[in-house]
Structure 1
């Protein structure tokens, strides 16, 4: 099957190493595209919860697929988030076309794009990190219970449901937080005279023009969502942005034919397991 060409692909909040991560679906998506640039906008590997040693083969396949882009000469930016903040000690690390950064400003068809994860806007992250980590564990447990429930619902022929989305919908503060997050990002981007401000962190995919609080200008705010619940990515092609949303119907076959070849090719060029282990040791 021919791969779909995309100028820029941005994904965030994959949370590899957690039960809620939809690595299999992400792998299908990554196999289906041929990007000219890939931006990983934070919380790709959930180092906060690595201690439970949950690392299925599908999660390693996602890492291999990303590194395959690197070996093919495709620029890959890994921008750190709060769940993989331990990687910030490796800032400015590069491996061929791979760069590990905290943020990046890119010129996209003559327009400046300010890209970063967004956890700097989270008051909980700044002042009560232990509370944020406790919340992450609780969230992952909720996702695990939700997965088991959905398995039963599917077996019974009933539609799936999302516990976390229902919980969020019941709290107006969650909506207020998202709105405040987006407005803060927009205000700073307008002040810096950027055309785009692109974030992750809040697991809420979005593309919309936002006017600054002071009414001094506007900016296109974009958020890539996540691969825990919404399964979304940002795509830029032919000078147009869109939110891609994964649906099972669009991916009929799981083409694993080239997985063995991927692993052999990567092992010949770099030791993936050794590189990942190095990150884990530094994080611990």
Structure 2
């Protein structure tokens, strides 16, 4: 699709796991997405900035700075921006309840959709046993993950040269490993259980880099995905309908092309694959 996409306005936009400060961050694709997609309320659902990586080695490109400026500009133009930190930007949990300019920082939030449902908004690392009880193992896993992303970068340079869209080697590998699949299932059950505990109708989270829209025992489960592997965001339309958008090509304005693949909300009991 070589045509420039049409600008769209949603009621709510949910973005997580951008990992600014890492070479694997798909900042150009996110910038392109934000050019054509706006919302009344924007939730930043954790791991927007990768404090873990920045502590070890500093990497911050102009595109990363542009993402921050673009988001702040949306706030100045009237969008409400709510930031729920994750484990990689856990340093912001020292500032819960405060504002940075137009950005509210809170541990969790309850979002009410246009059709009256209440959704718990939370990053999700609070329900990751490894992150909570064996941080050294989580850091080791992060190192291995970076190695996979570096290989992923090489693969996608070749794909781009051949004219193919972005594709995540690490995400593909994750879904081929039984233990990873089992972990995803346990994570989804834990988050839907927490939503039920607090009296919410559903949950919006991130953390595991696996975009999904599904019904789990009557609780709506939404995972925003990420901007390292899947390049996805969750949007709420003005009628309350929820949808995942995948943005894997740059638009004509960015010297390539745009591709947004919608993943619509399924009927109860159904599953929408990321």
Q: TM-score, normalised by structure 1?
A: 0.82
2:27 counterpart (23, 27, 51): 23
Deviations 1:155-212 (A, max 9, x none): 467787533134323321111111111111112222332112111001111111110x
Asked if the contact 1:41–1:116 (Cα under 8 Å) also holds between the matched residues in 2, the reply is: yes
Asked if the contact 2:196–2:202 (Cα under 8 Å) also holds between the matched residues in 1, the reply is: no
* SS of structure 2 residue aligned to 1:226: coil
User: Which residue number in structure 2 is paired with residue 127 of structure 1?
Assistant: 133
Q: Which has the larger radius of gyration?
A: 1
State the number of aligned residues.
248
Q: Does 1:146 align with 2:152?
A: yes
1:210 counterpart (216, 227, 243): 216
CA distance in 2, matches of 1:168, 1:105: 30
* SS of structure 2 residue aligned to 1:201: coil
1:14 counterpart (18, 25, 36): 18
CA distance in 2, matches of 1:219, 1:169: 23
Q: TM-score, normalised by structure 2?
A: 0.85
What residue ranges of structure 2 are gaps of 5+ in the alignment?
256-274
Richer in helix (by share): 1
List structure 1 segments (4+ residues) > 6 angstroms apart after TM superposition. 157-160
* SS of structure 2 residue aligned to 1:253: helix
Alignment of 1:143-182 (within 5 A): 143-155=149-161, 162-182=168-188
Deviations 1:16-43 (A, max 9, x none): 1111100000001111122101000000
What residue ranges of structure 1 are gaps of 5+ in the alignment?
212-217, 256-284
Which stretch shows the higher mean deviation, 140-149 or 110-119?
A: 140-149
* Residue 97 (structure 1) shift: 3.5
* Residue 239 (structure 1) shift: 1.5
* SS of structure 1 residue aligned to 2:245: strand
Structure 1 pair 100–158 and aligned structure 2 pair: CA distance change class (3 A): closer
Q: Does 1:83 align with 2:88?
A: yes
Q: Does 1:42 align with 2:46?
A: yes
User: Which residue number in structure 2 is paired with residue 228 of structure 1?
Assistant: 228
Structure 1 pair 92–169 and aligned structure 2 pair: CA distance change class (3 A): same
CA distance in 2, matches of 1:108, 1:26: 24
Q: Does 1:55 align with 2:60?
A: yes
Structure 1 pair 171–7 and aligned structure 2 pair: CA distance change class (3 A): same
Structure 1 pair 154–112 and aligned structure 2 pair: CA distance change class (3 A): closer
- Cα RMSD, aligned residues only: 2.0
CA distance in 1, matches of 2:173, 2:6: 40
CA distance in 2, matches of 1:16, 1:126: 22
User: Which residue number in structure 2 is paired with residue 273 of structure 1?
Assistant: none
* SS of structure 1 residue aligned to 2:73: helix
CA distance in 1, matches of 2:34, 2:215: 28
